[in-house]
Amino acid sequence: MPTTTNLLQALPLPVLLVNAQERIVAANDGAKALLGGEIVGRSFVTVLRQPALTAALDAALREGRGDRVRVRIASGAREMVAMVSASPLEPAPDADLPQGGALIAIEDITATEEAEAMRRDFVANVSHELRTPLTALMGFIETLRGAAKDDPVARDRFLSIMEREAGRMNRLVGDLLSLSRVESEERRRPTKTVDLTAAIRGALQTLQATAEAQGVTLIREGEAGTLRVIGDPDQLTQVFSNLVENAIKYGGSGGEVRVTVTRLEHEPVLRGPALRIEVADKGEGIEAMHLPRLTERFYRVDTHRSREQGGTGLGLAIVKHIVARHRGRLKVESEKGKGSRFTVILPER
């Protein structure tokens, strides 16, 4: 016959056994790791002090009624969100519960809560990003139907602004669709052999006119010839297009953007040969406080400037997911006043 301790250890969640006097009489290793190794024998309220949980325990012990409550539990330097179940137990003289007790099971839902918060933020951000140009379009349409109907100068100016705002919405929808597609494919490794040189060349050729208009010189350095990786050619071209376009837009004040390709005989994290592609500019740089958040959806260092430049706030999030799909690494380095470097490291075929 298995003992109470063995039964508790077999459960996948942190679990406590509490007697009728509200003392902890047994705990599995998961509970001890979460709440401390010396919790057995202590009063329940000295281990978990949440009023809602105390009320749930009281209902289980006094009324024989199970309950499930959401609480926050501090565990070391981390605070977790948990759903805690309090289930009544019948008296069991051979299991340290001669007068009955309760089983307390703790389920960590922190990741679920964070995902839900991200979803809410994402919906709010998308709604905001679409509402702004839509409001402008509706306002100009109303004006064109009224006061500016017979004013050709105002009409042309308003139509130009409307075209710009419609283009902004189109770019946003395009990036949203691209991000959704990349996320849905992230767990499926690409199978095609891609010439990385061709992908970089395609991105630079596409952006050459934009660079010239901004007075920026695009420079390609390092390894040349055929450089083979396993990947998706369209997605890799998108990665380099996004990085070079950002460098032109936000680092173009330095007058040049350098794309340098280096072959690594052994990359420690990827555990094998790799290709490093660095996109560097000599612009104003980015403050260190912003670097960890650059790949978040809709995160912008300068919101006003980004919108003026036509940015959607999704480009680096797309880059991050594509690089992850290719089992690669993305590094961002920058120093205020000294430019920025975005480095993609991909396993070589």
pLDDT tens digit at each of 349 positions of the chain = 456 777 888 889 999 999 999 999 989 999 998 988 899 999 999 999 889 999 999 999 999 999 999 998 887 777 889 999 999 998 877 667 888 889 999 999 988 888 888 778 777 877 877 888 888 888 888 888 887 777 888 888 888 888 888 888 888 888 888 888 888 777 788 888 989 999 999 999 999 988 888 888 999 988 888 888 888 888 999 999 999 998 888 877 778 899 999 988 888 888 888 899 999 988 888 888 888 888 888 777 766 555 555 567 788 888 999 999 999 989 999 888 888 999 999 998 7
Range(s) for CATH 3.30.450.20 in the chain? 4-108
CATH number of 4-108: 3.30.450.20
**Do residues 48 and 65 make contact, with C-beta atoms less than 8 angstroms apart?**
no
Range(s) for CATH 1.10.287.130 in the chain? 110-185
Range(s) for CATH 3.30.565.10 in the chain? 189-349
CA 87 to chain centre: 36
Cα separations in angstroms, 226 against 155, 196, 201, 267, 348:
52, 7, 12, 20, 11
With CA atoms as reference, report the closest residue to 259 among 231, 222, 212.
222
- The class level of CATH for 110-185 reads mainly alpha
User: Was domain 189-349 assigned CATH 3.30.565.10?
Assistant: yes
